[in-house]
Amino acid sequence: MRQEAISLWAGEQYEDALNRLFEALMIDPLWPLYDIQELTIFYNNRRAWELSDYPNLEYLKRIPIYKERGLVGLPPNFQLFLDYLQMIPANINDFATKIDQWFSRLAKEFSNNPFIYLFWSDALKIPFQRQNRNEIDERIKKGQLYILPINILDMAIGKLEKAFEISPQIHIISLRLSTLLMQKMSYYEYGTSEFHDISTKVGHYLKKGKLYLLEYIPEGVRDK
């Protein structure tokens, strides 16, 4: 199925390729990895590699183990599915709805897999990112964050909270939650109850998320 999806993609049958990969995910969302532990190792390293796109973190590209363990050249099916969603050059009708349908079915079938919610959190941002690609790329080049619309933030945060509920010991989930909550906090004035509540959550998740930073990006921890 994977090879067929790759062939379909090469033949510019983009939606058919996504559907074929989705069928493979419904059979085994971990493949070719064996368990959640292996997927966690992959994801931790892949995320460190992806963060090297930021100018102040370029040094991460000089750590070859991140590329190797992050399976950058040969990603597992789930990462390939997300990559295709992000790279697709053609417009798909009802793209956001189809993303939701794909991941809803996966979550129903594999409700105890936190990575379904991690990848879902990323996937639901894609329609907005496609529409604002140039501005987002410019900000990343400058080492700046872009702030997602609050409705997308709420959806993405909800998926990560579900992932955390399943596997609170996977520290990258906490780190990603704290990052999105910081974005949400920017929508509220300092001193308001909303700002305070979100700030408390940021502190809670960042405490756990720093354990990921200490292992993979120690320069990212300011107050050790």
Alpha-carbon distance of 50 to 28, in angstroms, equals 25
Q: What is the pLDDT of residue 9?
A: 82
Distance in angstroms between the alpha carbons of the first and the last residue of the chain: 46
Positions of the chain with pLDDT under 50: 222-224
User: Burial code of 97-109, b = ≥16 C-beta within 10 A, e = fewer?
Assistant: ebbeebbeebbee
Q: What is the largest CA-CA distance in the chain?
A: 55
Alpha-carbon distance of 3 to 98, in angstroms, equals 22
Please state whether the predicted TM-score (pTM) of the whole model is above 0.75.
Answer: yes
Peptide bond preceding 29: is omega within 30 degrees of 0, i.e. cis? no
Q: What is the pLDDT of residue 224?
A: 41
Amino acid at the residue 164: F
> Given the structure tokens 């619309």, which residue do they identify?
149
Q: What is the pLDDT of residue 203?
A: 94
Q: What is the pLDDT of residue 177?
A: 96
Q: What is the pLDDT of residue 223?
A: 47
